Chains A and B, each alone.
Chain A
Amino acid sequence: DAGVIQSPRHEVTEMGQEVTLRCKPISGHNSLFWYRQTMMRGLELLIYFNNNVPIDDSGMPEDRFSAKMPNASFSTLKIQPSEPRDSAVYFCASSLAVGEQFFGPGTRLTVL
């Protein structure tokens, strides 16, 4: 298995632009997670899905952030409009119902 796949790996955009991050979880995993990592705040959970349904989105910073999981093999995290304070590394992870999470390589987002 290729593991969790994220794209793009790097994204540089200007303030106000829409940004879409993509994630393909490991086949057969039924839980998917989006995390954000910054120097100031460390690793934070943004949202997680179980069987394609959002279970907890309390970590989503504000309405500018939205996440979807249209099917078991794909999820997106969208920021619209983006702001410089959104600059961070965004990780996607997947897991089975029990046990460990498997993380992707992350997307490094820079908003100018």
Chain B
Amino acid sequence: DAKTTQPNSMESNEEEPVHLPCNHSTISGTDYIHWYRQLPSQGPEYVIHGLTSNVNNRMASLAIAEDRKSSTLILHRATLRDAAVYYCILVLNNAGNMLTFGGGTRLMVKP
């Protein structure tokens, strides 16, 4: 399985944008890039996904490098509620099957 690499932790100030990087240099052409996050004491929740083009939704934006070997999750204005562990996961064919969670990035938001 293609793997992802993320920083262990990041800090941000409230109301400022946050860019969470993810490297996936062995990504295949049929791997979709998914992002999930896990708030304290909760189950993971889906954030966004994409294949080649940049994507926007109400929660975040996903910027995908042209060679697809890296991507960046963008939170436009971090709030205290965005403090969570963010996971970048490759999903073959976008199929609703197994997710392989790595260590993720723990985002801390300072007031």
Contact = CB atoms under 8 A, between A and B. Distances in A.
Interface footprint category on A: 20 to 34
A101 B42 contact: no
Interface in A70-111: 91, 93, 95-106
Contacts, number: 54
A104 B96 CA distance: 16
B48 to A, nearest CB: 9
A31 B96 contact: yes
A8 to B, nearest CB: 15
Judged by DSSP, the binding face of B is: loop
B105 to A, nearest CB: 13
A52 to B, nearest CB: 15
A72 to B, nearest CB: 15
Size range of the chain B interface in the assembly: 10 to 19
Contacts of B44: 43, 91, 93, 101, 103
B43 A106 contact: yes
A105 B43 contact: yes
A60 interface: no
A56 B98 CA distance: 9
Contacts of B34: 100
A35 B38 CA distance: 14
Interface in B30-87: 34, 36, 42-46, 49
8 contacts: A33-B99, A42-B101, A42-B103, A50-B97, A93-B43, A93-B44, A97-B95, A100-B49
Top 3 A-B pairs ranked by shortest CB distance?
A103-B43, A100-B46, A95-B96
Interface of B: 34, 36, 42-46, 49, 93-103
